[in-house]
Copies of this chain bind each other. A is one copy, B any other.
Amino acid sequence: MSMDITFLGTGSAYPSPTRGASALVLRREGECWLFDCGEGTQTQLMRSHLRAGRITKIFITHLHGDHFFGLPGLLCTLSLQSSPDPHKAPVDIYGPLGLHSFVRRSLELSHQCPAEEFKDFSSLDRDEVSPQGPPGRRIHLDPVEDCYSLVEEEQLVVKAFRLFHRVPSFGFVVEEKPRPGKLNVQKLKDLGVQPGPLYGKLTNGTAVVLESGVTISPSDVVEDPIPGRKICILGDCSGVVGDAAAKLCRQADVLIHEATLDDSQEEKAREHGHSTPKMASALAKQCRAQQLVLTHFSQRYKPAAQRGEGDTDVTELKRQAEAGLGGQEVTLAEDFLTIEIPMKK
């Protein structure tokens, strides 16, 4: 079950030729989930190895233009592309309150209105006038877990938690459910159980009774469940709200965190609701994340390969984050960088 993340835009504030506006794709076994959709995301998708038509879900972290102004255009193009196939499944969209209305109105105005299904969630406790079209589903904060349950599928769950920013902003945790542990084949052989249907029953948690009358329970011969992968993708923030984030992100395989400015500008970063590498690494350390990836860089930090004379060195941000993690390696996102996340064994 392959899983990878591809960054389509890693710049803050606006898209530029060296860093697109915020967008990344989490791909699992060919199915693509898009996180944020800044202006130009559909063109970045065309430049990448990904196929826009494989997008089944879109998640928007917050309603600043550089994170969602590409959504109407992408939806129009998806609608054009899938028009010969009216049976194509709708794209589910999850985002803060207000997004539903924006997307619906944009598509209505542009006379191109596909049948996307909308899902709003937000800490804002106000109603808004619903535009025409199928209503969205309002997702409320779970007061116990202090988070929003967005998706629950057979193999996966997605939850959202709250961040500190100038406007409501969210982080997402995508977590695979644990897989059943492996059968201890040697032990089974010793017990006289031959390969066959009984193996399947035991793997699925059912006890079996042998012809000899001996009962074997799964816990005797099945190893511990294998944890799934956990990917955490945070929107713009200068910190997290409450304890939910640290709990949800614990031991994340990949924690994707913004680092708009370098550590020397922490005051300015906080003033604008943003983070520095030190701030990002503090959360990564608290969560014991396996891999911290920094993104959403101020456009002044050109990618290393495109850096001209006088341009600020983005690798300084990597060094600052690594210092905060006692030397643990930190990844700097660049447009079109792909990170593979192997299954646990």
Contact = CB atoms under 8 A, between A and B. Distances in A.
Interface of A: 13-17, 21, 39-40, 42-43, 46-47, 63-66, 68-70, 72-73, 76-77, 80, 98, 101-102, 105-107, 109-112, 166-167
Contacts of A167: 111
Given A14-B73, A69-B110, 12 more contacts: A14-B80, A17-B43, A21-B73, A39-B42, A65-B72, A65-B73, A65-B106, A66-B73, A69-B69, A69-B72, A69-B73, A105-B105
B70 A76 contact: no
Contact of A110 (B17, B42, B64): B64
Contacts of A98: 109
A104 to B, nearest CB: 11
Listed from nearest, the 9 A-B pairs whose CB atoms lie closest are A65-B110, A39-B73, A14-B77, A69-B73, A65-B76, A40-B40, A15-B43, A102-B109, A98-B109
Nearest to A110: B65
A98 to B, nearest CB: 5
A167 B112 CA distance: 11
A39 B16 CA distance: 13
